[in-house]
Chains A and B, each alone.
Chain A
Amino acid sequence: MPVLTLHSAGPGVTVQDLGRPGWTAQGLSRGGAADRLAVLEAAALLHQDSGFAVLEMIGFGGVFSSDQPTRFVLTGAGMQASIDGAAVPPYTTQLLPAGAQLTIGGARHGVFGYLAFAGGILTEPVMDSRATHLTAGLGRALAAGDTLPLGDDPRPDMPPQRLNPPDRCNGGMVRMMTGPQTDLFDEQTLADFLATSFRRSPRGNRQGVRLDHDGASFAAKGGLSVTSDLIVPGDVQLTGDGVPYVLLTECQTIGGYPRIGTVIPADLPRVAQAAPGTALQFTLLDLAAADATAEPDMAVLRRLQQARQPLIRDLHDIADLLGYQLISGVTAGDDLEQD
């Protein structure tokens, strides 16, 4: 079984998968990757299923090596990466030779970068998941000197595979839906909220991100005495001083601050991946439109598997080879000499 060694690590490197659903009633939020799509993208690229575990790197990577050759891929935030000095592109599977040093630097765009290995990370699951849940004290951030067991790469000689990720690291419009407490905000406050251009604050982590803006704060009726109620990731909570936080994967399960609405799951990676200072604005979907965006993880994975492409197309993989106009460009060879 290959062993991964961390020779150095940024402050927010953790083992993540798609989390532990089903424990809300006991107060444990699902957790898992802050950008779930990035895990599914890595799974599609490495022919894995949706249950495999990867490394999440907040803002900065580290230096990694494996004692056996294994393919890997980088998804999520764009982080500068190289193997023994040679640059490595993201969203393209690569072979990490045994003993070679993979160096991953700071995020150039986005926040949460993911490093996935072909056999997955095989740490011992706790409550059916390998996800580190920092606020619950499940697992911990990794540090230099740590080693992790990897699964064997089933096909180390497989040609590189690539995907074009949807842009989600540049902020922009974020779709939300109403929730149980939207009506605690009067119409004008909600309209002002939707008309406001926010900036992702430097204050943020796996629990949630704070948003800054110019102008008045957004107060709810009876703000400090609202009865605590159930929360889901994506909820936009306004704290006592009327400052919005978008709650992410490690959010609390119940909270007392009023929530103006819920960012739909499809757009939550866009919030998570907005670097500090990035502009974000909310738009409100009606309930039917919001519900129509729900896409189970397995459906997302299937869609990504279909979008996956070999980096260089092998002729044998082109099923409709005879349909290509392979000779239509053949000429006498003197085109450039003609008028």
Chain B
Amino acid sequence: MPEIMSPLADPAFCPLGVDGVLVRFARALTAEANASASGFCAQIKAAALPGVTELASSLTSVRVGFDPAVTDRQRITAQLRDLLTGLQSADTSPRRLWRIPVAFGPSHAPQLHEAAQLAGLTAEQAVAEITTTMLRVLAIGFAPGQPYLGLMPLHWDIPRQSDLTPHVPRGALVTAVRQLIIFAADTPTGWRQIGQSAFSVWQPDSDTPFLLDAGDGLQFVAVSDDTLRDLQANPDSNGGARCEVLR
């Protein structure tokens, strides 16, 4: 079933470094802003503008990196504004669907109760919402291959903690501001850990080091702590993740 979404019309153009322009469709994350950013990124790529060195889209924006020896900010900005006027509505339904096992037992989800409470839910209700929401990879970033997933319902709009949790393990499922992340590596974070997967989003020794793409669909499947332990013991399983090609 295609989802046709109209792009947002009037993004902000900001400098991001001496060799980059950030085109930001919204300050707050919405499905429309995310689809506009990824759609515009694809359109810029297709336009193959001279001097563009790198393109990256985030939750609501696209950064266009350029070579100042070939072009300049003014020229790139004018070319991007021209492209924007031709921004088309596009089929934004996912090309692939991932199903990824997650354990939500107390030893794997130290902040599930706290996060659920902030969302006005019991822990059981929170797990039910996490595993029934059809999530999308909104952006890849922070660490290699690491997905920003969303959008959770509005009541999941809970802020990050002001203090960092010093150590959250690789594969952890964490949440803040209507989003979920599967961590690429052990890391300190202000996001709350509410589950644990055995899924590696980044496999540098493989031919395909980055597993997920922005735009992929993703659904979490609740498993027992024992099942997670078995998946962790078998690295070839990559956490029991399954990928289905949709279109």
Residues of A within 8 A of B (CB): 21-28, 126-127, 135-138, 177-180, 224-225, 227-230, 232, 234, 239-241, 252-256, 262, 264-265, 287, 290-291, 293-294, 296, 299
Selected contact of B161 from candidates A22, A229, A240, CB within 8 Å: A240
Contact A180 B22 (CB under 8 A): yes
Contact A177 B15 (CB under 8 A): yes
Note all chain A residues with C-beta closer than 8 A to B172: none
Residues of B within 8 A of A (CB): 12, 14-20, 22, 24, 26-29, 41, 53-61, 63, 65, 67-69, 72-73, 139-146, 148, 157, 159-164, 176-177, 179, 184-185, 190, 202, 204, 209-210, 214
Contact A232 B143 (CB under 8 A): no
Given contacts A21-B53, A21-B54, are A291 and B142 in contact (CB under 8 A)? no
Contact A27 B210 (CB under 8 A): yes
Contact B144 A26 (CB under 8 A): yes
The CA of A94 and the CA of B65, in the complex, are separated in Å by 39
A256 CB to nearest chain B CB (Å): 6
Which interface residue of A138, A180, A239 has the most chain B CB atoms within 10 A? A180
B51 CB to nearest chain A CB (Å): 11
Contact A224 B143 (CB under 8 A): no
Note all chain A residues with C-beta closer than 8 A to B142: 27, 228, 252-255
Dominant secondary structure of chain B at its interface with chain A = loop
Which interface residue of A136, A228, A290 has the most chain B CB atoms within 10 A? A228
Contact B143 A136 (CB under 8 A): yes
The CA of A249 and the CA of B89, in the complex, are separated in Å by 37
Note all chain A residues with C-beta closer than 8 A to B184: 27
Given contacts A24-B63, A28-B144, A254-B139, are A296 and B69 in contact (CB under 8 A)? yes
Contact A22 B53 (CB under 8 A): yes
Contact B27 A296 (CB under 8 A): no
| Extra contacts besides A225-B157, A232-B17 (10): CB < 8 Å | A23-B144, A24-B54, A27-B144, A224-B160, A227-B26, A230-B22, A230-B58, A234-B17, A256-B190, A291-B72
Q: Closest residue to A182 on the B side, CB-wise?
A: B14
B205 CB to nearest chain A CB (Å): 9
Note all chain B residues with C-beta closer than 8 A to A21: 53-54
Given contacts A135-B143, A180-B16, A254-B142, are A291 and B68 in contact (CB under 8 A)? yes
Q: Closest residue to B24 on the A side, CB-wise?
A: A180
Q: Closest residue to B73 on the A side, CB-wise?
A: A291
Selected contact of B16 from candidates A135, A136, A179, A228, CB within 8 Å: A179
Note all chain B residues with C-beta closer than 8 A to A254: 58-59, 139, 141-142, 148
Contact B204 A137 (CB under 8 A): yes
Closest 8 interchain pairs by CB?
Answer: A254-B141, A180-B14, A240-B162, A24-B56, A25-B56, A294-B18, A224-B159, A294-B68
